[in-house]
Chains A and B, each alone.
Chain A
Amino acid sequence: MATANTYPRLRAVMMRIAQSIPVVVGVVVISFLLTRALPGDPAAYFAGAAADEASIEEIRVALGLDKPLIQQFFIYVGDLLQGDLGQSISSGQSVAADLAKRLPASLELTLTALIVSCGIAIPLGVLAATQPGSWIDHLCRVVVTAGVSLPTFFTGIVLIYVFYYLLGIAPSPLGRLDFIYIEPDRVTGFYLIDAAVVGDWETWLGALKQLVLPAVTLALFTLAPIARMTRAAMLTALSSDFIRTAKAAGLTNRKVLYGYAFRNALLPVVTTLGMVFSFALGANVLVEKVFAWPGIGSYAVEALVVSDYAAVQGFVLAMALLFVLLNLIIDLAYTAIDPRIGFASK
């Protein structure tokens, strides 16, 4: 989008990217504080239960814990810049490698869920706004109020009970692929894409079957805020003057609705997506636990159970950086939708 236009647009994009730097710094500071706020003595913890006084002291020096806090912070940042998030005690691997291995599973689930939920919520909101008082408006209202009250982990369990136990159509809720299929060669780490690349449609179908229930669970959770915002934004747009003018000028209903009203209504909807991502990334952890999905959420939960703190903190940091990145993408998408936005006012 930056290439297509003149200079100011490019500058606005660069400005927005620059604005996310202090946020990233803040995120790194908080996650540093979280790693140093470990209960008890981190050195004693990392040395293990059988360690004596001398070896604890050795670990303390090795980890740099004997230095002042500020110095520790710069060591931490230095490690981060080299992609070092520490060692996971439970898996014995480096946390960064573990996260990288499991991230595609989480992204595949979250993105599928968001696409499904946008695909349902936005048309639902638009229809509810164009036909106020109709059955679809009432449906929208019920979905919106009930949707925000659903505990994701509970929805997931109910779906498993109905579709796996009662109806028997869903596969057993254990991971990304049934053991009868062979894992596709890793290209992107997204099973659906990897299987399609090599043309293995049987595996593709198997992966899709495993994906449906967790994705629907997550989609149900994110449906409500998107539908609510779409409806409200469409109502505002439809009652504004430029719509009346467009109608008076004799434009077709279709053109007015999708060319003018919808395009304007998209802006607040895209803004809400930022908040929705925050919820979705959190809910992701719960959904992964329910469906034994091998993503970074269930990795963090397993790490929590065995007090593997480096893994948990690495996960928190990775999620925060992912969220900052998503927000950045959303804001940049703004410019594509609305040429008026210059970021100058922000």
Chain B
Amino acid sequence: MSDASIKSAAKSSGGLDHLIYVLRANPVTMLAFCMFALIILAAVFGPSLVPYDPLATNAANALQAPSLAHWFGTDSVGRDVFSRVIVATRLDLSISVAAVALSFVVGSVLGSVAGYWGGWLDAVLNRVLDTIMAFPLFVLAMGIVAALGNTIENIIYATAIINVPFYARLVRAEVNIRRDSGFARAAKLSGNSDIRVLAMHIFPNALPPMMVQVSLNLGWAILNAAGLSFIGLGVRPPTAEWGIMVAEGANFIVSGEWWLAVFPGLTLMIAVFTFNLLGDGLRDIVDPRQRT
């Protein structure tokens, strides 16, 4: 996703120099990129690198504190917490990436159509989005999962639905201001169809701000999915997932077995933190005026 923003930054002004300048002036963004790479690596290669089977129980070795053999300790049935935390990366990341991708596509289509053609389509879409936003979003996600059924796919759909308004509104605004611009008219006059003008000429302009939104949203989507599985929705118990691991560990925190909840929780926090930093960094690159 950084590709698109780099390209667009390069096209606009100052080019690659600007990117290098921002990265050098802001080591935090640099760090975020590195952490992001690490998370991707853990998601891709994690399951084949971990020292123990994340589902293998060993009752004789239950509730061991962190040690050299078990870096993050073991849980109540003797599973290795470190292996489970690493393996969970793939699931958590897939849920949030799938949800964000879905809302990106749906939001782009809805927003483009509403922004380009306007009229009653636009009015209806705005009403629907307003209604979605009228719910506390996490609560709406709970309601959707409860209604559609308690599965991982429905967690993805619910997270996607509550994210759609952000993308649709962004795209609608970006498309709407360029609907009658010179380049769009020129493209139309030279014989392009409406859909082609919209998709090839106008929509790409919305991509840089969308990328920032994607990055900020990914962190939020992970939090959301982990929150849903924390209250017992979606992911089923033996599966390794950060939210459910924290939920399982919560039962042991009052008796002092802190490692069960703390390590998955910390990992979750770091992942969200990375995406938020990345989003802020991308925003600095894409639109320096928005800096706060």
Contacts and interface: CB of A to CB of B under 8 A. Distances in A.
Interface in A20-52: 22-23, 26-27, 29-31, 34-35, 37-39
Interface in B88-135: 127-128, 130-135
22 contacts: A23-B131, A26-B127, A30-B131, A34-B143, A35-B147, A37-B147, A145-B277, A151-B226, A151-B272, A153-B227, A157-B261, A157-B262, A277-B136, A279-B138, A285-B231, A312-B143, A312-B146, A315-B139, A316-B140, A316-B142, A316-B143, A323-B135
B254 A173 contact: yes
A282 B226 CA distance: 13
Interface in A265-315: 277-279, 281-283, 285-286, 289-290, 300-301, 304-305, 309, 312-313, 315
Given A39-B149, A285-B142, A316-B143, A165 B269 contact: no
Interface stretch (B9-17, B39-47, B203-211, B245-253): B245-253
B269 A150 contact: yes
A196 interface: no
A290 B256 CA distance: 16
Given A151-B246, A157-B261, A316-B140, 13 more contacts: A26-B131, A34-B143, A151-B265, A151-B268, A157-B250, A165-B253, A235-B292, A282-B139, A285-B231, A312-B143, A320-B140, A323-B135, A323-B136
Nearest to A301: B231
B292 A309 contact: no
A282 B132 CA distance: 14
A333 interface: no
Interface in B235-292: 243, 246-247, 249-250, 253-256, 258, 261-262, 265-266, 268-269, 272-273, 276-277, 280, 292
Contacts of A300: 142
Nearest to A280: B136
Contact of A27 (B134, B150, B233): B134
Contacts of B136: 277-279, 281-282, 319-320, 323
Given A27-B135, A304-B146, A309-B147, A153 B246 contact: yes
Contact of A316 (B139, B249, B292): B139
Contact of B276 (A148, A279, A281): A148
Given A154-B246, A157-B265, A160-B254, A149 B140 contact: no
A43 B5 CA distance: 52
Interface residues of A, number: 57
Nearest to A153: B230
Nearest to A322: B136
B279 to A, nearest CB: 10
Contacts of A164: 254
Contact of B273 (A39, A146, A319): A146
A84 B213 CA distance: 40
B137 A282 contact: yes
Nearest to A174: B254
A286 B231 contact: yes
6 smallest beta-carbon distances between A and B, as pairs: A282-B138, A26-B131, A154-B265, A316-B143, A281-B136, A149-B273
Contacts of B30: none
B73 interface: no
A65 interface: no
B148 A320 contact: no
Nearest to A305: B232
Given A304-B232, A316-B143, A232 B292 contact: yes
A324 B131 CA distance: 10
B253 to A, nearest CB: 5
Interface in A32-79: 34-35, 37-39
Contacts of A305: 232
B139 A289 contact: no
B219 interface: yes
B108 to A, nearest CB: 23
Contacts of A316: 135, 139-140, 142-143, 146
Contacts of A278: 133, 135-137
Contacts of B133: 278
Given A26-B127, A154-B268, A320 B139 contact: yes
A22 B127 contact: yes
Contact of B233 (A31, A279, A304): A304
B197 interface: no
Contacts of B255: 165
Contact of A149 (B132, B147, B219, B253): B219
Contacts of A277: 136
Given A153-B246, A281-B139, A290-B250, A34 B134 contact: no
A48 B254 CA distance: 38
B138 A283 contact: yes
Most B CB atoms within 10 A — which of A149, A278, A327?
A149
B6 interface: no
A39 B148 contact: yes
Contacts of A290: 250
B269 A151 contact: yes
